[in-house]
Amino acid sequence: MIKIINQIIGTNKLDIIFRIFKKISPLENLYYFLKSEIIKKISLEYPPYSLEIHNNIISTSWDPIRYGIIALAINTIKKEKIKGHFAELGVFQGNTSKIIHHLAPEKKLFLFDTFEGFPAEFLENKGDSERFKNTQLEWVKKNIGNLNNIFIRKGIFPETTEGLESETFAFVYLDADLYKSTLEGLKFFYPRISKGGYLLIHDYHNPQESNAGVMRAVNEFMTDKMEKIIELPDVLGSIILRKL
């Protein structure tokens, strides 16, 4: 079976085959088995974090490089005792929030989203107006599970940062897709990230997302900063930096 899978990897047929498998319920278990066998092959062989987290990354995602990087960053934050809270801007259904919280349940995790889709006034492309509406705060809470140390800021960022001006952050994950949201995220979080803290931004190398809005915002914001961004080869080309 693995031999057959190997033969079709690299062609876009694999995705189609998996979609069909997923639709037919008796094949669902086989789908998840095959998926984790493939993800295992492109995941860290000797992860410094727990096997439970490693298996969680393998079983829940098609983007093990992105989640592996998140897990490695959080592992280092714990090892080096980097001070500050965690934050995610752009939560949608909370799938990444759940993993971040699972990796460091002892850290306060601030979650920012409208939970109603993109703010209309931030859109450059009106065609994006219906995206990410398929969520609800109650689903997100249920998805995350343990809500200890979870602080939900519902509404339009950066209005929802009120009261957090004096806080510091050790880990910030920006995944808001839009130019203006990403720029506002950088303006608010960058000066508040502790020395050695991590900033991760999704979609940097995603030209289809909001006319490369993330890349435009990051390049504009980072021109006069000390740190250099590092580009990562995950599915949608995230970037990472550590604060000097």
- Number of residues interacting with ligand SAM: please give it, by CB under 6 A: 21
Question: What single DSSP character describes residue 178?
Answer: S
Is position 86 an interface residue for ligand SAM (rule: CB under 6 A)? no
Could you say which of 60, 96, 161, 238 contacts ligand SAM (CB under 6 A)? 96
Is 123 a binding residue for ligand SAM by CB under 6 A? The answer is no
> Positive or negative, the Cα torsion across 53, 97, 185, 63?
positive
| Nearest of 67, 112, 60, 64 to residue 85 by alpha carbon | 112
Among 31, 157, 179, 189, contact with ligand SAM (rule: CB under 6 A): 157
Residue 181 touching ligand SAM (CB under 6 A): yes
Q: From residue 20, how far is each of 7, 30, 48, 130 by CA, in Å?
A: 18, 12, 35, 26
Cα separation, 26 vs 46, whole angstroms: 33
- Give every CB contact of residue 27 below 8 A, 6+ residues apart in sequence: 20, 21
Cα gap 47→70, rounded to integer Å:
12
User: What DSSP element (H or E) covers 66?
Assistant: helix 64-79
Rounded to a whole number of angstroms, the minimum distance from the CB of residue 239 to ligand SAM is 15
| Least distance (Å) between residue 154 CB and ligand SAM | 8
Give the range of 8-16, 53-61, 88-96, 189-197 binding ligand SAM by CB under 6 A: 88-96
Rounded least distance, CB 237 to ligand SAM, Å: 14
Point out which span in 47-55, 110-118, 193-201, 214-222 binds ligand SAM (CB under 6 A).
Answer: 110-118
CB of 140 to ligand SAM, least distance (A): 10
The residues that touch ligand SAM, with contacts defined as CB under 6 A, are 90-93, 95-96, 112-114, 117-119, 122, 132, 156-157, 175-178, 181
